[in-house]
């Protein structure tokens, strides 16, 4: 079976305030809509690197859905796993940026088309060719999608495929039920991809070294990819640690940088590139992504990378 990467989760449009510190509670000027959604950005980056891939999601039969379908298809994503739900609207995210670098969001996801995705309306046929499944914790926002993800894991693991997992959730928002669900995913994870803020979230310890040992020895992960934002990233294996500093760039829009990094790292590793090379190229993808406005606008092609 040839390699195919599949992810599951939300597809939305992002609409951005044009002025710094513009309050979402006040009338202002916005730009967009831009194709977005963390899983969608991840899989678009995979496709831009020439790797066969698909996403299981849902959009409405509307302009917001079409802008996403058109972009993903244009960039090489298999969109046959995206259900178009006539009675629902495509999800959206409004965002404003503050002078200190922080952001405020208003999301319409849970009640949008992607929030209605379930085992009955999802197209799972793309999993028949799937050799690797990527899961994002932020996408597991209801029981239907959690059940769908569990079914997808069963199919992919049953076909001897592999799993990568980006928890993508703040520790302070992690309740006991969600933590149990995420730990069940961690048990079948090959590549674990937390941020610095998340590295101990699913561990019994608040200590970095102890948490890493737990992920290897209790849950059996193969690689831990630690995303460090503007500092770069690290990869831990049982025997080695690899480190890559971020590339020096002028930041315009940080949204989606971690998703671009993750998509690139998984794509390169599944093409059997060494960890060190995969980490360097993925970090360049993440760094490049922040130089343009729009969450999916900064995905990179292979020929655009200096370290290829």
Q: How confident is the model at residue 180 (pLDDT cuts 50, 70, 90)?
A: confident
* Whether the predicted pLDDT of 172 surpasses 60: no
Residue 230: the pLDDT is 87
Nearest-angstrom CA–CA distance, 290 and 293? 7
- CA nearest 36: which of 257, 228, 267? 257
Share of the chain above pLDDT 70, in %: 97
Tens of pLDDT, residue by residue over 128-158, are: 999 999 999 988 888 899 999 999 999 999 9
Higher-confidence residue of 180 and 57: namely 57
pLDDT of residue 1: 60
pLDDT tens sequence across 268-280 = 999 999 999 999 9
Cα-based distances in Å from 21 to 29, 100, 101, 104, 108? 12, 9, 10, 9, 21
Asked if residue 150 lies in contact with residue 180, where contact means CB atoms within 8 angstroms, the answer is no
- Distance CA(299)–CA(231), nearest Å, equals 19
Domains and CATH numbers, the chain: 5-9+38-57+119-298 (3.40.1190.20)
pLDDT tens digits for 283-297?
999 999 999 989 999
> What single-letter DSSP state applies at residue 64?
H
Confidence of residue 171 (pLDDT cuts 50, 70, 90): low
What is the reported pLDDT for 254?
Answer: 87
The answer on pLDDT for 184 being more than 80 is yes
pLDDT tens-digit series, residues 237-273:
999 999 999 999 998 888 899 999 999 999 999 999 9
As given in the structure block, the two tokens for residue 296 are 């999916």
Instruction: Return mean pLDDT, the chain.
Output: 93
The predicted model gives 7-35 an average pLDDT of: 95
Residue 170 has pLDDT above 70, yes or no: no
- Tell me what pLDDT residue 102 has: 83
Query: Cβ neighbours of residue 136 under 8 Å, at least 6 residues apart?
Result: 7, 9, 38, 39, 42, 165, 166, 167, 168
| Residues with Cβ within 8 Å of residue 63, at least 6 apart in sequence | 33
Supply φ then ψ for residue 268, to 5 degrees. Answer: -70, -40
- SS3 for 66? helix
């Amino acid at each position: 079976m040839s390699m195919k990467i599949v992810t599951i989760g939300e597809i939305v449009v992002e609409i951005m305030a044009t002025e710094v510190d513009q309050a979402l509670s006040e009338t202002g000027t916005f730009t967009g809509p831009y194709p977005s959604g963390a899983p969608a950005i991840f899989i678009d980056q995979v496709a831009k690197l020439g790797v066969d891939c698909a996403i299981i999601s849902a959009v409405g039969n509307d302009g917001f859905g079409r802008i996403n379908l058109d972009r993903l298809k244009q960039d090489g994503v298999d969109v046959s796993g995206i259900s178009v739900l006539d009675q629902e609207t495509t999800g959206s995210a409004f965002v404003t940026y503050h002078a200190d670098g922080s952001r405020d969001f208003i999301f319409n996801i849970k009640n949008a088309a992607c929030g209605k995705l379930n085992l009955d309306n999802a197209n799972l046929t793309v999993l028949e060719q799937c050799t690797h499944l990527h899961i994002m914790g932020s996408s597991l926002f209801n029981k239907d999608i959690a059940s769908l993800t569990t079914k997808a894991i069963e199919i992919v693991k049953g076909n001897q495929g592999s799993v990568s997992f980006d928890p993508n959730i703040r520790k302070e928002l992690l309740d006991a039920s969600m933590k149990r669900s995420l730990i069940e995913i961690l048990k079948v994870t090959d590549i674990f991809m937390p941020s610095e803020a998340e590295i101990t979230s699913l561990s019994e310890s608040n200590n970095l070294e102890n948490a890493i040992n737990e992920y290897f020895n209790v849950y059996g992960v193969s690689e831990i990819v630690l995303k460090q934002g503007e500092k770069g990233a690290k990869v831990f294996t049982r025997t080695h640690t690899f480190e890559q500093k971020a590339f020096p760039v002028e930041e315009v829009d940080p949204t989606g940088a971690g998703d671009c990094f993750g998509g690139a790292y998984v794509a390169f590793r599944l093409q059997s590139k060494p960890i060190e090379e995969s980490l360097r190229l993925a970090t360049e993808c993440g760094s490049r992504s922040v130089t343009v406005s729009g969450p999916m606008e900064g995905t990179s092609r292979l020929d655009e990378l200096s370290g290829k």
